[in-house]
Structure 1
Amino acid sequence: MTITQLKYTLAVAEHKNFTVAAEHCFVTQPTLSMQIQKLEEELDAKIFNRSKKPIELTPLGERIVEQAKVIVDESNRIMDIVHQQKGYVGGEFKLGIIPTIMPTLLPMFLKNFTRAYPKVQLIIEELTTEEIIRKLTEGHIDAAIAATPLNNDVIKERVLYYEPFVGLVPQEHPLFKKSKIEVEDLEVEDILLLEDGHCFKDSVVNLCRTNKGENKKHFQLESGSFDTLIKLSKDGLGMTLLPYLNTLDLSEQDKAHLREFVSPPPAREVSLIYHKSQLKMQLIEALKSTIDGVIRGAIAFSDVEIISPLQKA
């Protein structure tokens, strides 16, 4: 039994297809199939039911795969232990970032990080919070940047910054005449929102629920990006709420429609998160240090009221 055989087995279990699994393992399909067959012969057990389409794990195969995940994960940590002991900042590092943070934060730190740590192979994925939690738990990514708190016992959170919500209000809207808005002014059915799956939408809905005691389900319009929400708001279809960093690149004309909240403003907590058993701490520290260095000059809010994306009404 080899680690390579176990990795091939995990790939087939994940993709449910030998050809696709071989592509992800960068080997030919016959090579992968032969190694898995050798493993099954050694164990005298069938791991996969090949007669099913897509391929399914046998009941015993499910237990074997669960143990294989532990073995492969622990084997990968051997090099992490060596790197940590030597203080080496290099190697592959898989980072997930949620869609509402990626476009504003990534350009701020990526060039600085790659210049400071040229030996790091940074692999970045745009993922939802739900996908991030799953991939961190299963060991498919090393860390992530997401809105917190997540209240997950196996995930550690290191706060990077607090980002206030800012209103974008069309001229025809009643709140346009106010210099600052209050949470009590918000009507959730009047706010242009992101589509389901974006935690910023959940935070906005929770903000309205928490302060108004309402649980309204009817939304006039939902969109997949802040750019679209901005354009729709400018067309007079309603107000919207934006994270502070998304307002920095607006034109002066558009900034005239921004309305900050009275203090303390509602805000999201943005954190660098990772599994509690993570060993690539020298890489995590390097990433956090780089982001800390660039974010201080762009955002300096501390007197805020944190609205959790997972808060329940």
Structure 2
Amino acid sequence: MTITQLYYVLAVAEHKNFTLAAEKCFVTQPTLSMQIQKLEEELDIQIFDRSKKPIQLTDVGEKIVQQAKNIVNESGRIKDIVDQQKGYIGGDFKIGIIPTVMPTLLPMFMTNFINKYPKVNLIIEEHNTNEIIKRLKNGQLDAAIAATPLDEESLKEIVLYYEPFVAYVPQNNPAYNKKEFDVEDLEANLNNLLLLQDGHCFRNNILNICKATTLNHDNHFQIESGSFETMVKLADEGLGMTLLPYLHTLDMDEKHQEKLRQFKDPRPSREVSLIYSKKELKLHIIEALRTTIAGVVKGAITFQNVEISSPLQKKLN
């Protein structure tokens, strides 16, 4: 049994296809298949049920994959230990970022990080919070950037910044004439509030501010969208108001800026953090990311009096 064989098993388990798994492992399909077959013969079991499409794990295969993840992840830590001892900042580093942070934060720090740490190969993936948690625990990500706190015992969170929410109010809304918003104004507009679809922690942030678990729209339509741009366009059509993260508003033109309303202190905000497994050893790269991001956001976000809204979905009693 070799680590390479286990690595191939994990690839097939993830992609459910031998050809695709071989491509991701940069080997030929016959080579990958032969190594997995050798492992199955050695163990005298079948890891995969090849009669099903897509390929499925057998019952014992499920257990082997869970153990293989631990072995492959731990074997990779040997190189991490050596790199850290040598002070070497380089190699592959997989980072997940939630969709409501990716478009604004990534362009702010990416160029600086690449220029400062050219030997690091950042592999950036966009995932929702639940997927990020799963991949961090499985070792499929080295770190992530998401809204916190997440209350996950196995994960460590380093706060990067606090980002206030900003109301985007159309002219037909009575609240348009207010210079500043408070939570009561938000609750009064709850039935006409345009929010991202379920699965986005930003939606949970807003519902938690309003102390609500769901919305009862009276505007005769429901929409499932993961785009702030869509919410803004619907608001411009007079179909409701929406909330945006502060960084998302910085590049808006003057026409759209006129519809933005800040909240009174303490401003409802989200906490955005760098997250990684407590077992993670690539701490030198994590620290490099933290300092780079901190350097670029401190000039953009200077708010101090904030009230953090949880990204966790409230459970119904």
- Report TM bin, short chain: over 0.9
AA of the residue aligned to 1:310: L
CA RMSD of aligned residues (A): 1.4
AA of the residue aligned to 1:127: H
SS at match of 2:195: strand
The answer as to whether partners of 1:193 and 1:221 remain within 8 angstroms in 2 is: no
AA of the residue aligned to 2:16: K
Aligned residue in 1 for 2:63? 63
Aligned residue in 2 for 1:153? 153
Aligned residue in 2 for 1:92? 92
1:126 CA drift (Å): 1.0
Residues 286-295 or 125-134, more deviating: 125-134
1:43 CA drift (Å): 1.9
Give the counterpart of 2:306 among 296, 304, 307: 304
1:23 CA drift (Å): 1.7
The answer as to whether partners of 1:99 and 1:127 remain within 8 angstroms in 2 is: yes
Give the counterpart of 1:200 among 199, 202, 206: 202
Give the counterpart of 1:284 among 286, 301, 310: 286
AA of the residue aligned to 2:50: R
AA of the residue aligned to 1:52: K
Distance in 1 between residues matched to 2:214 and 2:38, nearest whole Å: 58
1:188 CA drift (Å): 2.0
Q: Give the alignment's TM-score, normalised by structure 2.
A: 0.94
AA of the residue aligned to 1:133: I
Aligned residue in 2 for 1:218? 216
Give the counterpart of 2:239 among 237, 240, 255: 237
- 5+ residue gaps, structure 1, are none
Deviations 1:293-312 (A, max 9, x none): 00000001121110011052
Identical pairs, percent: 64
1:185 CA drift (Å): 1.2
Distance in 2 between residues matched to 1:123 and 1:196, nearest whole Å: 26
Give the 5 Å matches for 1:262-277: 262-277=264-279
1:191 CA drift (Å): 0.9
SS at match of 1:206: helix
AA of the residue aligned to 1:64: I
Aligned residue in 2 for 1:110? 110
Deviations 1:69-121 (A, max 9, x none): 11111111111010111111111011111110011101100000000000000
Q: Give the alignment's TM-score, normalised by structure 1.
A: 0.95
Distance in 1 between residues matched to 2:163 and 2:152, nearest whole Å: 21
Distance in 2 between residues matched to 1:279 and 1:139, nearest whole Å: 12
Give the 5 Å matches for 1:20-59: 20-59=20-59
Distance in 1 between residues matched to 2:13 and 2:236, nearest whole Å: 48
AA of the residue aligned to 1:103: P
Aligned residue in 1 for 2:74? 74
SS at match of 1:147: strand
SS at match of 1:194: coil
Residues 43-52 or 137-146, more deviating: 43-52
Distance in 1 between residues matched to 2:252 and 2:55, nearest whole Å: 50
The answer as to whether partners of 2:201 and 2:313 remain within 8 angstroms in 1 is: no
Deviations 1:198-256 (A, max 9, x none): 111111112112xxxx5444245433211121122122221111111111111122111
AA of the residue aligned to 2:269: A
Aligned length: 309
Distance in 2 between residues matched to 1:310 and 1:6, nearest whole Å: 35
Distance in 1 between residues matched to 2:130 and 2:273, nearest whole Å: 15
AA of the residue aligned to 2:234: L
The answer as to whether partners of 2:213 and 2:314 remain within 8 angstroms in 1 is: no
Residues 297-306 or 53-62, more deviating: 53-62
SS at match of 1:95: strand
AA of the residue aligned to 2:57: L
Distance in 1 between residues matched to 2:172 and 2:55, nearest whole Å: 57
Distance in 2 between residues matched to 1:111 and 1:58, nearest whole Å: 45
Aligned residue in 2 for 1:295? 297
1:51 CA drift (Å): 2.3
SS at match of 1:75: helix
Distance in 2 between residues matched to 1:254 and 1:67, nearest whole Å: 53
Deviations 1:106-150 (A, max 9, x none): 110000000000000011111111111111111111101000011
Distance in 1 between residues matched to 2:38 and 2:176, nearest whole Å: 70
- 5+ residue gaps, structure 2, are none
Distance in 2 between residues matched to 1:205 and 1:159, nearest whole Å: 22
Distance in 1 between residues matched to 2:67 and 2:134, nearest whole Å: 18
